[in-house]
Structure 1
Amino acid sequence: MQVDRVVALHLKPESGGVAPVKALDAVAGKGFVGDKCFGRRHRQVLFISSTHLEELGFDPGQLREQVTVTLPTLQSLPVGTIVAVGDVEFEIEQDCEPCSRMAQMMGEEPEAFIARSSFKRGMLMKVRTSGTIRIGDEVKILGASA
């Protein structure tokens, strides 16, 4: 049985691109410490499957996700699903829909980028429990939120 894991972590500073890191400190209801999305009530964290990154021809972090995992079924999980990374729990809030802004950042024509990356752009989540996640941590699907 395959164990799914974190394969890359990135922090999005206030300006510029993303920075690869070995660990991220998650705060319940807030996001990752030092990340530009920290403190938001929603859309705190973006997870993406390494399978989809490979299909799209991008490297980890290139689509501005913070967490890259080897969970090929990530995109098919329903809203409200709880995903554990190590001891930290996250809740899926919505599919991250591709947009023309991201297409421009990737140097692609918006319609083509949106068409090829639909349902492969990752899942937006909120942090449910605090803790530190690291590259290599196991990823588990715990089920639906209560």
Structure 2
Amino acid sequence: MAFPFFGDSKSAIAQMLATLPQTGRLEWIGLRPIRREPMQSVTEAVVETDRNLVGDHARPKSGGKRQVTLIQHEHLAAVAGYLGHSSPVDPGRLRRNLAVSGINLLSLKNRRVRIGNEVMLEITGECHPCSRMEEELGPGGYNAMRGHGGLTARIIMGGTIRVGDAVQVVADDNP
């Protein structure tokens, strides 16, 4: 089978990094109405442009890079496995706002994604675990989350999101 990318290796890598034909799915939405209280699972949420999810206690500054957090839904089982649990970890215990399946979240770093028909996020960086993971998951929780902490994002365009919505990469030339 022929290699589909031509030119020097740098441009071939750039082409491969830009190839993201998958469509993901929003599996879970969580809000933290009060600091250090349990996350509340909801089926839909209103997303404020350049702010946060309505009902979430966090009020990041305008232009902030951590307005919403995402986690790879498939990693919930991996984290549970590292802890010796037989069923996936409940996403609310991991303190992230959105759980997404079907698309590799790490491949979205520095890209824009659309959730449903309205909301657009700019993926800004990794969301590394904190010491709260030891409280939530028990001894070893922090290390179980390493490499599986998810991503942070800035809200480019607000609207309403719902569990089951498509998560798609926005082409660089058409944000």
| TM, length-normalised to structure 1 | 0.86
- Does 1:71 pair with 2:102? yes
Contact 2:22 2:102 in 1 (8 A): no
Letter in 1 for 2:157: T
Cα distance in structure 1, aligned partners of 2:171 and 2:79: 28
Cα distance in structure 1, aligned partners of 2:34 and 2:26: 24
Contact 2:108 2:169 in 1 (8 A): no
- Larger strand proportion, structure 1 or 2? 1
Superposed displacement of residue 76, structure 1: 3.3
Cα distance in structure 2, aligned partners of 1:18 and 1:65: 9
Moved more, 6-15 or 18-27: 6-15
Cα distance in structure 2, aligned partners of 1:31 and 1:106: 26
5+ residue gaps, structure 2: 1-20, 81-88
Structure of higher RCO (CA pairs closer than 8 Å, 6+ residues apart): 1
Residues 20-41 of structure 1: CA deviation (Å, up to 9, x unaligned): 1111101111011111123432
Residues 93-117 of structure 1: CA deviation (Å, up to 9, x unaligned): 11011122322332224xxx34332
5+ residue gaps, structure 1: none
Cα distance in structure 2, aligned partners of 1:144 and 1:92: 13
Q: Residue 126 of structure 1 corresponds to which residue in structure 2? A: 154
The RMSD of aligned alpha carbons is 2.1
Cα distance in structure 1, aligned partners of 2:70 and 2:154: 10
Contact 1:92 1:125 in 2 (8 A): yes
Aligned-residue sequence identity (percent) comes to 30
Superposed displacement of residue 122, structure 1: 0.7
Cα distance in structure 2, aligned partners of 1:4 and 1:39: 26
Cα distance in structure 1, aligned partners of 2:39 and 2:68: 13
Which of 67, 70, 79 is the aligned partner of 1:47? 70
User: Larger Rg: 1 or 2?
Assistant: 2
Alignment of 1:1-146 (within 5 A): 3-15=23-35, 16-40=37-61, 41-57=64-80, 58-78=89-109, 80-86=110-116, 87-109=118-140, 113-144=141-172
Displacement over 6 Å in runs of 4+: none
Aligned with 2:164: secondary structure? coil
In structure 2, the CA distance between the partners of 1:116 and 1:60, relative to structure 1 (3 Å rule), is closer
Count of residues in Structure 1 that have an aligned counterpart in Structure 2: 142
